[in-house]
Chain A
């Protein structure tokens, strides 16, 4: 899978663990040889830019809506997509990605309502569910296992 194109699709950054997990996952996958792009809303990308001001962990940072438009218009696509979601809008964006992209989709469902939200997902793909809000360690550990499976 080395060189595979990976999209990390961030949603609303209201739940704190999203930013740290996005930075962690971006860096981990980049070190493993994946070509990682991180897409997000204006606020989500600004959080990453300030946290990682030299672009060390997230090298390609792009606008979420523009990225989806590029995929819809067949100007771009990815091999793997990790879609972050803690609310219905995040799930809606992931459902759109599932319909427009050829990528293998992993839904990262987090926050207090993670379990209920995960039950509303009707599209295919693996779900990584964590009810955590502030402490990213459990979600990080789950994602480590997922990445381990991907690189096998």
Chain B
């Protein structure tokens, strides 16, 4: 069992599909970042999901998906010191990606929230 279930979390959406959970995060976060399946948050929780995995930030709260085989996917939010650290970490990763793209002379493909479809962005 992951440490998530022992943490103080709030359920924003429950027993839904992964796609609906991702869309919820995209629509209800101030910032959205995309990571690969298996990305680890809160020390030992590897995110299960259909790529692209959306992570949302709203203030200091991290918004993420949590999938249980018999119950479907949940959207959870945690707002504490650890969530702030996780948001900083994913922001830093995003900055590194942009810097790496610039060094290669490419236009950076930011995964921050925009008006385009994230599903299409992932498929590029």
Interface residues in chain A, defined as those with a beta carbon under 8 Å from any beta carbon in chain B:
11-12, 14, 41, 43-44, 64-65, 68-69, 71-72, 87-93, 95-96, 99-100, 120, 122
**Docked-complex contact B48 and A88, CB < 8 angstroms:** no
17 contacts between A and B (CB under 8 A): A12-B69, A14-B70, A41-B70, A68-B38, A68-B48, A69-B46, A72-B38, A72-B40, A88-B17, A89-B69, A89-B72, A92-B73, A93-B67, A96-B48, A99-B51, A100-B37, A100-B38
Interface residues in chain B, defined as those with a beta carbon under 8 Å from any beta carbon in chain A:
1-2, 17-19, 36-38, 40, 46, 48-51, 67-73
**Docked-complex contact B37 and A90, CB < 8 angstroms:** no
Bound state CA distance, A95 and B67, in angstroms?
A: 12
Cβ contact of A92, chosen from B40, B46, B50, B70, cutoff 8 A: B50
CB distance from A67 to the nearest CB of B (A): 11
Give the A-B pair count, Cβ closer than 8 A. Answer: 64
CB distance from B122 to the nearest CB of A (A): 10
Bound state CA distance, A96 and B18, in angstroms?
A: 12
**Docked-complex contact A89 and B38, CB < 8 angstroms:** no
**Docked-complex contact B69 and A90, CB < 8 angstroms:** yes
